[in-house]
Amino acid sequence: MLMSAIEGARSGPCYPELAGKRILITGLSSSCGVDIVRAFAEHKCRLILQFDEMSEKMQTIAEIAAPNALEIKAFGPVERTTDDVVQFARQAAQAFGGLDAVINLIPLGLANLDPEADTADIERIVAARLLLPCLLSKVAANRMAISWNEGTIVNIATLGSGAEGASRALAAVTKAALAAMTRSQAEEWADKAIRFNAIAPPVAQARSPDAVGEPDIAALALYLASGRNQTLSGQVFEAEAAKAAPKIPRVA
């Protein structure tokens, strides 16, 4: 089913139920997110975009989405403090009077991680990295529940091709924490018809040119956000190398 969802989304919009939906996409950067934004824009969604950096590339992403998206509102970087994240979450939820889906882009690796970093250092980095998706998801889910609105939250982990050594070890720890957070939140909000899922790359091996690309990740995000499978929650899908096997996303 998931593979057919990917193939269908590759050929063009195929989820008419997403038209007009209010979609928040966080963690956009110059290297991550353009295909995901484009995919939801082509489904005539209302987009709230949060950029982790401000650059000409960010402006380009907004311009790519503008011709197809029903509406767009953009926000810049958010400080990783509880107050700032909660304030942003409220602003995002109010942008179009609520949220139907949240897509959090979360980097796993860190190229300049100190090789001498100890366990406490790693824990602080992981906690800071997951603060925004964790708190934002709670605020968004609460807003969805108050308005009796079914919703979806998808955490998408990203791993740069240059992640090696200590950075790859950090990625593995972050991925495990993300999986635990996603499953815990799915259980917490299950009775409110709010679904939590995650998509993450394997971190035990270097990323290859044959690895699943962002268009395929975008296709899976569309499927999850569409709500067509309302029992699918608490899952972590691992994007594997696609050259030899058609079973691209599998549950990790």
Q: What is the pLDDT of residues 50-81, one digit of tens each?
A: 998 877 777 888 888 999 999 999 999 998 88
Helix (H) or strand (E) holding 183: helix 165-188
pLDDT at position 12 is 57
Residue labelled with tokens 């070890």: 169
- In angstroms, the CA 68 to CA 22 distance is 14
* Beta strands at 249-251 and 235-239: parallel, antiparallel or unpaired: antiparallel
Q: Is the pLDDT of residue 118 over 50?
A: yes
Query: What is the percentage of the chain residues whose pLDDT exceeds 70?
Result: 79
Q: Which residues neighbour 151 within 8 Å (Cβ) at sequence distance 6 or greater?
A: 99, 100, 101, 102, 140, 141, 144, 193, 194, 195
Given CA atoms 75, 77, 82, 84 in this order, what sign does their dihedral have?
negative
Query: What is the percentage of the chain residues whose pLDDT exceeds 90?
Result: 43
- In angstroms, the CA 236 to CA 227 distance is 16
pLDDT at position 243 is 30
At 232, list the tokens: 């699918």
Which whole number is the average pLDDT over 185-204?
88
Superfamily the domain 2-251 falls into: NAD(P)-binding Rossmann-like Domain (3.40.50.720)
Q: Is the pLDDT of residue 192 over 80?
A: yes
| pLDDT tens digits along 210-237 | 344 677 888 889 999 988 878 889 999 8
Rounded alpha-carbon distances, angstroms, from residue 30 to 9, 77, 242, 250 = 23, 13, 25, 28
Q: Is the pLDDT of residue 20 over 80?
A: yes
| pLDDT tens digits along 104-117 | 998 776 656 666 77
Which whole number is the average pLDDT over 169-186?
88
What is the model's pTM? 0.84
- In angstroms, the CA 92 to CA 226 distance is 20
pLDDT at position 209 is 36
